[in-house]
């Protein structure tokens, strides 16, 4: 597999204190990089918009990243919160290159993440909406292109896919990224070894809150076909088991502490450490991306479906 070093490096720079997220998001983006976003388009569950911003060719100054403005100080393993569901006047994206193309619409259920996405000045419309609340707040047959990488978090994926079919135009393109039962396989293998406290620190409630990870790929294929989509392709969005294991553990357990430490550095010192940090992880991760046995699409822990509405 050929790696685009510039794009991988841009993801690793932005997610530098969580390199497991940086490398995985690179591969997710790569899995649908040949698809053209056009017409009335929407990214459902866009969050802060950063993933699709980088996917679309946008770039930031290296002094800007995910970890400048968070609620990390309030986090502990006894008091779990989403430290990124936070926004203040300090959050100012330092954009050096605008995206080559972008979505007209973005939606998410978290207000603060949408406020962050708005500061990218790329979306024409941002809508706060919980995907568990069906129907989605859009007209029938409105969208030419739909993307989402978070539908597996919902309580009723069948109803949601049915409603996505409703808002999609005939012959529209729908790109859906889905986890499978292999996504959290590392945690389930480790659970018998760890005590409850250790497992909870690694797990961070993922096995409870990620509803869709209990289904294998055949479950998603069945849901998609039942709702009148043509499956044009199924692609492995995560490349191999080693990177799945890396994502499951990574620096997640200590990320709040790393963020707090980074806050105490002046810009020059932080930039110097970040540059070396990214270089080290790039050198470690590059062979792990390319040398292990790759997943076949139907074996992958995370997959991308390329769909077309009948």
The continuous run of DSSP H or E covering 219 comes out as: helix 217-226
Q: Is the separation of the CB atoms in 17 and 80 below 8 Å?
A: no
Instruction: Say which residues have a Cβ less than 8 Å from residue 29's Cβ, sequence separation at least 6.
Output: 7, 11, 51, 54, 55
Enter the pTM of the model.
0.95
Distance CA 255, CA 187 (A): 18
DSSP state of 299: G
Residue 172's CATH number: 3.40.50.150
Q: Is-cis flag, bond preceding 135, omega within 30?
A: yes
For residues 97 and 122, is the Cβ–Cβ distance under 8 A? no
Closest CA to 240 of 289, 287, 283, 286: 289
Q: Measured between alpha carbons, how far is 145 from 36 in angstroms, rounded to an integer?
A: 9
Which pLDDT tens digits describe the chain residue by residue (310 residues)? 789 999 999 999 999 999 999 999 999 999 999 999 999 999 999 999 999 999 999 999 999 999 989 999 999 999 888 999 999 888 999 999 999 999 999 999 999 999 999 999 999 999 999 999 999 999 999 999 999 998 888 888 889 999 999 999 999 999 999 999 899 999 999 999 999 999 999 998 888 777 656 678 999 999 999 999 999 999 999 999 999 999 999 999 999 999 999 999 999 999 999 999 999 999 999 999 999 999 999 899 999 999 999 8
Count of domains in the chain?
Answer: 1
Range of the domain at 209: 5-309
């Amino acid at each position: 597999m050929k790696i685009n070093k510039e794009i991988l490096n841009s993801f690793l720079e932005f997610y530098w204190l969580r390199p497991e997220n940086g490398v995985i998001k690179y591969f997710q983006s790569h899995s649908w990089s040949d698809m053209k976003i056009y017409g009335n388009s929407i990214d459902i569950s866009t969050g802060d918009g950063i993933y699709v911003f980088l996917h679309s060719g946008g770039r930031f100054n290296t002094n800007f990243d995910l970890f400048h403005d968070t609620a990390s100080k309030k986090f502990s393993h006894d008091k779990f919160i989403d430290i990124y569901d936070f926004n203040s006047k300090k959050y100012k994206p330092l954009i050096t290159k605008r995206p080559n193309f972008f979505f007209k619409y973005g939606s998410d259920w978290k207000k603060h993440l949408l406020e962050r996405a708005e500061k990218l000045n790329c979306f024409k419309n941002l809508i706060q909406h919980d995907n568990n609340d069906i129907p989605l707040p859009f007209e029938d047959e409105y969208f030419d292109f739909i993307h989402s990488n978070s539908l597996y978090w919902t309580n009723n994926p069948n109803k949601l896919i049915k409603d996505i079919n409703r808002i999609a135009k005939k012959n529209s393109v729908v790109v859906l990224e889905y986890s499978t039962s292999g996504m959290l396989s590392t945690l389930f293998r480790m659970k018998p070894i760890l005590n409850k406290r250790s497992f909870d620190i690694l797990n961070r409630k993922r096995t409870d809150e990620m509803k869709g990870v209990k289904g294998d790929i055949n479950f998603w294929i069945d849901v998609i076909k039942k709702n009148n989509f043509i499956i044009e392709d199924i692609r492995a969005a995560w490349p191999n088991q080693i990177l799945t294991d890396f994502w499951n553990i990574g620096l997640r357990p200590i990320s709040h502490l790393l963020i707090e430490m980074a806050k105490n550095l002046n810009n020059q010192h932080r930039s110097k450490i970040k540059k070396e940090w990214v270089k080290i992880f790039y050198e470690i991760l590059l062979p792990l991306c390319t040398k292990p046995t790759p997943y076949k699409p139907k074996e992958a822990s995370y997959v991308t479906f390329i769909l077309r509405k009948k």
